[in-house]
Amino acid sequence: MGLVQKASIKITVVSYLGIALGYFNRVLLFTNFLLPDQVGLIAILTSIGIFYAQFGIMGMSTVSVRFFPYFQDKERQHHGFFFWGNCIITIGFIITTILFVLLKPAVIHYYQKSSPLLIDFYYYIIPLALGLLYFQFLESYLRSLLKTVISTIAYELIGRLLVTITLLLYILKWINFHEFVLLYVLGNCVIALILLFYVAFLKHLFLRPVITPRLLRLIKIIAVYGFFTILSALGGQILAIIDGLIVAAKLNLTQEGIYSTVFLMTTVMLLPYRSIQKIAHPLLPRFWKERNMTAMAELYSKTTLTDMIFGGFLFLLLWINIFSIFRFMPKEYYSAKYVFLLLAIARYVDMATGINGYIILTSKKYRFDLWCMLFLIALTIVLNLVFIPKYNILGSAIATLISISLYNILRVIFVWYFYRMQPFTKNCLWVFIITIAVWIIAAQLPDIHDKYLDIAIKSTLLAILYFVPVLLFKLSGDVNRLVYSVTKLKYLKPKDAR
């Protein structure tokens, strides 16, 4: 856990700076200076762009992390891995773009009445997807090289800072909304270029075609794995965006703007989880290669416990302050209070089940994730179509909670059944009990008229109530080790420390 902990701390710090900037953009600037349907447009363009890029990347983001250890040899240019990977995603992008253009009549038919603004900006999605596609490929390549900090800085800080600058130009009326959207799209291309220059700086930008016996031996295995991971990754993206697409189609872009803003507000919970995943994911193929199941099981349980601790705290932090957070936004957003609650619970469930998905995807039984995903896509679509007409955007949140919970339960059961690994320990139960107890206590705190003072007082009390028992009972050696390294308080020293 030393490597995971050290790198994940750096990534988490950068991510929190990025999320603070993201909140400033989406919660303060977007909601107060853009109309809800304009907010919805940005959200839907981004969702479609991510899905477009995921299709075009042809599974290479997952293939890179899964198989790079078998190619890694700088003197031999990693056996041409970067060059051939780049060729594959370029072909994938061209094919996807052709399909995207051909599908425009169907999109017009489906969205013309409810979300006509999307049709006006349809072709802006092509350069947006191009930037996102190459960012994903380069980020996964750097992850395989265990270089994750710069890509996090590019995405979390530089990307969001470019959005801030672009939005300020719009607020000052130096650009119109069409130009704002164009600059927003180009910003995603900029962060991809930053990673390209960083790969070149590391001297791993190998653009010469290389064919080696190792490449020829593995190409069939990679092709089969890539096919299934393309479908699995596409399924993941469908699950992530289907609610927004159906909201925009069945309701309108205004409701999608409110829903996507609330959805984004819950992403702060995932920052520790994503930071750990970025470091843990490349380690799993190495464990499989070495058949080190003990190390994998330890990583599985420790990361789950850490995710539950920080996920539970962030869930409570957001929920007890939700009234004050909404006071920074126009009144129509407050109607989504319980949408936020259900989405936040879904995030917590995702975190509390650990890195099960990555264990499956890097194993020989990676096909299971595809079949499970296909079932859940169908379930999610049905649930959204059933609940949205009845409960509007709250119905979409209900569908998301059910689908994410079921998906993760199935994956936990699968990993336990085939590999006899499950992520939960008795300390996970204690963390869950503490989370529920603090939630009940925090719910009794009265609201203070001043929103800044309300957030400050509630957040301070929550941190004390939550972390004191977690740290004093030393439920997580990694969390105590982190706090001890900063405070040097002896009674916080982890049990396994010398």
Q: What is the DSSP string of 108-125?
A: HHHHTTT-HHHHHTGGGH
Q: Judge whether 76 lies within some domain.
A: yes
Q: Say if residues 51 and 238 touch (Cβ distance below 8 Å).
A: yes
Alpha helices in 147-212 (DSSP H): 149-152, 159-171, 177-201
Q: Can you say whether residue 206 is alpha, beta or left, with left for phi > 0 and alpha for psi between -120 and 50 degrees?
A: beta
Q: What is the pLDDT of residue 98?
A: 93
State how many domains the chain has. Answer: 1
pLDDT at 448 over 90: no
Between CA 338 and CA 334 the distance in angstroms is: 9
Taking Cα atoms as reference points, which of 400, 416, 409, 417 lies closest to residue 372?
Answer: 409
Taking Cα atoms as reference points, which of 276, 269, 304, 277 lies closest to residue 416?
Answer: 304
The amino acid at 484 = Y
Burial of 209 (0-12, 13-18, 19+ CB in 10 A): exposed
Q: What is the pLDDT of residue 46?
A: 87
Least confident of 77-86, 286-295, 323-332: 77-86
Q: How confident is the model at residue 213 (pLDDT cuts 50, 70, 90)?
A: low
pLDDT in tens, 419-428: 888 889 899 9
Q: Can you say how many angstroms the Cα of residue 464 is from the centroid of all Cα atoms in its chain? A: 28
Q: Say if residues 226 and 58 touch (Cβ distance below 8 Å).
A: yes
Least confident of 37-46, 190-199, 229-238, 278-287: 229-238
Between CA 429 and CA 421 the distance in angstroms is: 17
pLDDT in tens, 117-134: 888 888 999 999 999 988
Q: Who wins on pLDDT, 267 or 95? A: 95
Q: What is the pLDDT of residue 463?
A: 93
Q: Judge whether 498 lies within some domain.
A: no
pLDDT at 92 over 80: yes
Tell me how long the chain is. 498
Q: Judge whether 497 lies within some domain.
A: no
Q: How confident is the model at residue 39 (pLDDT cuts 50, 70, 90)?
A: confident
Least confident of 135-149, 221-235, 329-343, 475-489: 221-235
Residues 402-411: what's their mean pLDDT?
A: 88
| Percentage of the chain lying above the pLDDT 90 cut | 22
Q: What is the pLDDT of residue 2?
A: 47
First-residue to last-residue Cα distance in the chain: 16
Q: Tokens for 171, please give them.
A: 């607020």
Q: Who wins on pLDDT, 435 or 448? A: 435
Between CA 4 and CA 299 the distance in angstroms is: 9
Q: How confident is the model at residue 267 (pLDDT cuts 50, 70, 90)?
A: confident
Q: Say if residues 354 and 423 touch (Cβ distance below 8 Å).
A: yes
Between CA 351 and CA 385 the distance in angstroms is: 26
Q: Can you say whether residue 294 is alpha, beta or left, with left for phi > 0 and alpha for psi between -120 and 50 degrees?
A: alpha
Q: What is the pLDDT of residue 387?
A: 92
pLDDT at 7 over 60: no
pLDDT at 431 over 90: yes
Which residues constitute the domain of residue 299? 2-492
Q: How confident is the model at residue 291 (pLDDT cuts 50, 70, 90)?
A: confident
Evaluate if pTM is beyond 0.85: no
Q: Judge whether 344 lies within some domain.
A: yes
Q: Judge whether 377 lies within some domain.
A: yes
Q: At what angle do helices 271-290 and 125-144 cross, to 10 degrees?
A: 50
Between CA 161 and CA 397 the distance in angstroms is: 29
Q: Tokens for 375, please give them.
A: 């079932």
pLDDT at 304 over 80: yes
The whole-chain average pLDDT of the chain stands at 82
| Percentage of the chain lying above the pLDDT 70 cut | 84
pLDDT at 18 over 50: yes
Three-state DSSP class for residue 103: coil
Least confident of 7-21, 177-191, 205-219, 248-262: 205-219
Residues 407-426: what's their mean pLDDT?
A: 89
Q: What is the pLDDT of residue 273?
A: 76
pLDDT at 331 over 90: no
